[in-house]
Amino acid sequence: MKRALFGLAATAAVAMTLAGCAGTGTASGGGKATATLAPKSGTNTGGTVTFTQQPGGVMMVASVTGLPPNTTHGFHVHEKGDCSAPDAMSAGGHFNPAGKPHGQMTMPDHHAGDMNNLTADANGNARASFLLPDLSVGTGPNSVIGRAVIVHKDPDDYKTQPTGNAGGRIACGVVAAS
């Protein structure tokens, strides 16, 4: 009897521990992921992008350097966490688990990976932060973990399908849990 009760208590303790871990990084809060941007296509563009799960979505914070001064650039989460190609084409297309058309993140229909353009200052630096309601950090079909973040050469026009006519890929980073 004592062994049976001990076994049940141990099983309950393990279940409670696993339940506590399961909430980390899910839509209910707490997860964090980071991507380090590396130059692509012969540029000097780099930086960091962090994704933090919050109520209502994922807070994305980006700090990008090495952009041409006073320019605007498309900025997206891409489907594959692969930045191995010199032009970052190995990252695939925009992350789009719901199969929606490309558009601005404030529009009802847009890819989950569509984000606002980045604008570089006179020194070629860009900083941005926005809440992304269509992404999550952790498990599930909308998780940003294992995806790539891409900075494009040109601005996103938010209407050309499926890419926004944002041009070549000048920086790429794989998103990993942190």
Residues labelled as active-site residues: 76, 78, 94, 102, 111, 114, 152, 169
Q: What is the H or E stretch that residue 20 is in?
A: helix 2-22
Strands (E), 30-90: 32-39, 46-54, 57-65, 72-73, 75-78
Tell me the C-alpha distance between 74 and 89, whole Å: 15
Asked if residue 169 lies in contact with residue 156, where contact means CB atoms within 8 angstroms, the answer is no
Asked if residue 38 lies in contact with residue 171, where contact means CB atoms within 8 angstroms, the answer is yes
